[in-house]
Structure 1
Amino acid sequence: MTTTTHFLELPDVRLRYEVRGSGPLLIVTGAPMAAGDFAPLADALAGDHTVVTHDPRGISGSVLADPTQDSTPELRADDLAAVLDALGAESADVFGSSGGAVTGLALVARHPRRVRTLVAHEPPLLELLPDAAEQRAQVDDMIETFHRDGLGAAFAKFMGSAGFDEGDGGAPVAPPTEVPDQVVADGARFFAHELRGTTRYVPDVAALKAGPARVVVGIGAESGHLSTYRTSVALAELLGTATAEFPGDHGGFMGNPEEFADVLRKVLAEG
């Protein structure tokens, strides 16, 4: 299967994205996960979809003009709208996981007619939780720990706070020991410039409910121990919709991409 790589020059970032397959357009997005993390899922979907994956701004091959710029869901949403423009596409289905789900929610709020169906898989919307103040303090502590003690110490606190057991494959950043320099750089950017803006995003529920985009909240069948389970349930309750169950946990699309793709197809077809 042919995968083509493209670069889109915007005023503040050079975005790298990939296109594979044929059929209805589907954007698959993460944050901070890059295009490569979604390649198995994209391959599984490409038989009946044109799948677009990308490196979010400041991550991997998407290089910022100002490396100190913070990443926000709104900026990342505008990036996806720009990718749609570059593709000459009026709209697309969107699958967003973790921080990418938050990006998708911002995309629907800011560019509602660009999205047909958004599947928001486990968005870490900590502000929706009853213990939001405690969650906020934990995020601040992770970021302070990163600046003071480094990536490894911050990552350990992140894993514990999110509910991951050591070695879980569903974590949104890889363990920072004995990994490529790019993974370490992406992890550092996550803590320094992305984590706070993503977790403090408050979705515009009225805009999400107003349409015309359909919003589906996805939850992993094995995610009950994670904070993103609670945030996903909270979002679905605000939207007044049922959640859609996907295989695995937070990173279920990595563990069993074919089965995950089958469920995603069914959810998209229901729209």
Structure 2
Amino acid sequence: MAETDTRILETVGATLRYDVRPGTGTDPRPLLLIGSPMDASGFVSLASHFTDRTVVTYDPRGAGRSERTDGAAENLPDEHADDLVRLIEALGAGPVDIFASSGGAINSLALVAGRGDLVHTLVAHEPPSAQVVPDREAALASCADVHATYQREGWGAAMAKFIALTSRTGPIPANWAEEPAPSPDAFGLPTGDDGSRDDPLLGQNMRGCTSYLPDFPALRATSTRIVVAVGKESEGTFAARAAVAVAEGIGIPVSLYPSHHGGFLGGEFGQQGAPAEFAEALRASLAGA
């Protein structure tokens, strides 16, 4: 791959780091690969399949190399969307294409709802909005419980609940928080509490991301072409069910992608998806196929 150019961008309340990988092809439109709270390190495998295009990755505020400077404990999708506006404008390359996964998909939907002129095509992969699923109240409560567990007991206990929640298939029961909590040991997680409360997932983004309600009228009216993608192995999970509801709200069909919620991963964070096949599906979506 071409040498990566790492840049710094000052935004409102944050200092962002982002990476630009020049492409070898003739397509002038940059491709942004966006997660949240996952940072740029999660897109190494996927980026390697797009060497013909300029690929841009970044660390969201409060994650990886990007620091918050406002002292706030939690992030909101609209803040991330404003960061993305400033990042795209800093590129100075006109409308971009975006692949955005999980919380990144939520933030990119907020971006497109407000500034669709900056985005040509958005592929939103499994946006986890608890606001749109039929079991809305239980889903919101379970996400709030994961955050509360983190504040009360620390990272291991909360991450165990998060894994149980996101891997569960079917509707979330109203008494989910009253069910026996999974042991961190079952997932190889630490049982102790190190006292920190600034985890990008469990502390900073858990509530703001999952409680975001997409602006469906704006998304239906935008000039951006939107694709909502769901992993074939994700059927019935919270993020997949939310993606189906988001697509219905926009009025578009769901696109089935290979693998699961982390289907683009090729060993990053110890997780393996199907990055080559995933890249083929993404390339087809960007081409309008």
Calculate the TM-score normalised by the size of structure 1: 0.89
Q: Superposition pairs for residues 1-271 of structure 1, below 5 Å?
A: 1=1, 2-22=3-23, 23=27, 24-45=29-50, 47-163=51-167, 177=190, 188-254=199-265, 255-270=273-288
How many residues are matched?
258
CA contact (8 A) 1:126 1:135 kept: yes
Deviation at 1:137? 1.1
Q: How many Å separate the matches in 2 of 1:213 and 1:199?
A: 23
In 2, Cα distance between equivalents of 1:175 and 1:68: 31
Specify the alignment match of 2:182 in structure 1. Answer: none
The whole-number CA distance in structure 2 between the counterparts of 1:207 and 1:176 is: 41
Structure 2 distance, partners of 1:163, 1:85, is: 37
Q: Which amino acid aligns with 2:263?
A: G
CA distance in 2 between counterparts of 1:52 and 1:11 reads: 21
Contact 1:127 1:199 in 2 (8 A): yes
TM-superposed CA distance for 1:89, in Å, is: 2.3
Which deviations, in whole Å up to 9, do the C-alpha atoms of 1:11-66 show, x marking residues without a partner? Answer: 41110001113232111100110000111111211x22111100000001001113
Residue pair 1:152, 1:175 contacting (<8 A) in 2 also: no
Structure whose residues are more often helix by fraction: 1
Kindly state the Cα deviation for residue 256 of structure 1 after the two structures are TM-superposed.
2.1
> Letter of the aligned partner of 1:85 in structure 2?
E
Instruction: Please tell me the root mean square deviation across aligned C-alpha atoms, in Å.
Output: 2.2
Percent identical = 42
Q: Distance in 1 between matches of 2:190 and 2:287?
A: 41
Q: Deviation at 1:205?
A: 0.6
Partners of 2:189 and 2:30 in 1: CA distance: 34
Deviates more, 1:27-36 or 1:234-243: 234-243
Q: Using structure 2 for the length normalisation, give the TM-score.
A: 0.84
Change over 3 Å in CA distance of 1:176–1:113 after alignment to 2: farther
Contact 1:15 1:63 in 2 (8 A): yes
Mark the runs of 5 or more structure 1 residues left unpaired by the alignment. 166-173
Structure 1 CA distance, aligned partners of 2:189 and 2:72? 21
Q: Is the 8 A contact 2:127 2:239 kept in 1?
A: yes
Q: Which has the larger radius of gyration?
A: 2
CA contact (8 A) 2:113 2:222 kept: no
- 1:176·1:187 contact (CA, 8 Å) conserved in 2? no
> Is this contact kept in 2: 1:95–1:120, CA < 8 A?
yes
Q: Distance in 2 between matches of 1:44 and 1:175?
A: 32
Structure-2 separation of matches of 1:150 and 1:36: 24
Mapped to 2, the partners of 1:227 and 1:151 lie a distance apart of 21
